[in-house]
């Protein structure tokens, strides 16, 4: 069965809003996480607005040139390499979807922006001691220590319950990790 957007494409070119809505609904139907939906909303809606401001009315009109111009403007805002790459990843996914749904006749392929080397901040022993000393409770100190020792993210820690803790081994099962992946830490 054809979607409304596919049927519309047979008669005329689908507009950007309908094509974006079809994309967003496809991501929701794939059961991506709430954070992933928010990521697509934050990135692709800005791209759609940019396209409209540049008189691009439908997916068929989007070319590598428009994508590169948009990413160059994002770079001009002094956005980080990671932010620019995030926009590019979302746009790439959008372009693939539009091509697969036949909203555009050609797949728009563009070079992904490079991400420079990231200098990850590692706390020194003194900095960690200072951090722990300002924690108001033993519980807070335990949470900070656990995060430092395991690399668990804040949302992963917030999702923990006692059933995920193996008291014998000291291992903790992170069930709802990034990308809905689970892992053991400890």
Taking only the tens place, the pLDDT of each residue in 59-93 is: 999 999 999 999 999 999 999 999 999 999 999 99
Give the integer Cα–Cα distance in Å for 33 and 15. Answer: 27
Give the integer Cα–Cα distance in Å for 176 and 85. Answer: 25
Give the integer Cα–Cα distance in Å for 22 and 48. Answer: 13
Question: What does pTM read for this prediction?
Answer: 0.66
Average pLDDT over residues 142-150: 90
At residue 59, what are phi and psi to the nearest 5 degrees? -60, -30
Assess whether pLDDT exceeds 90 at residue 108.
Answer: yes
What domains sit in the chain, N to C, each tagged with a CATH number? Answer: 4-100 (1.10.150.130), 125-185 (no CATH)
């Amino acid at each position: 069965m054809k979607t409304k957007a596919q049927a519309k494409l047979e008669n005329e070119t689908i507009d950007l809003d309908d094509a974006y809505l079809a994309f967003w609904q496809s991501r929701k139907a794939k059961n991506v996480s709430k954070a992933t939906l928010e990521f697509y909303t934050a990135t692709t809606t800005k791209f759609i607005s940019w396209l409209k401001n540049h008189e691009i009315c439908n997916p068929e009109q989007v070319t590598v040139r428009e994508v590169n111009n948009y990413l160059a403007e994002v770079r001009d805002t002094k956005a980080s390499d990671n932010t620019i790459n995030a926009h590019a990843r979302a746009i790439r996914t959008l372009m693939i979807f539009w091509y697969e749904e036949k909203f555009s006749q050609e797949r728009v392929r563009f070079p992904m922006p490079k991400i420079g080397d990231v200098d990850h901040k590692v706390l020194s022993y003194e900095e960690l001691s200072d951090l722990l000393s300002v924690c108001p409770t033993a519980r807070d100190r335990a949470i900070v220590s656990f995060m430092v020792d395991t690399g668990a993210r804040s949302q992963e820690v917030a999702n923990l319950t006692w059933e995920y803790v193996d008291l014998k081994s000291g291992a903790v099962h992170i069930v709802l990790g990034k990308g809905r992946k689970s892992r053991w830490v400890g």
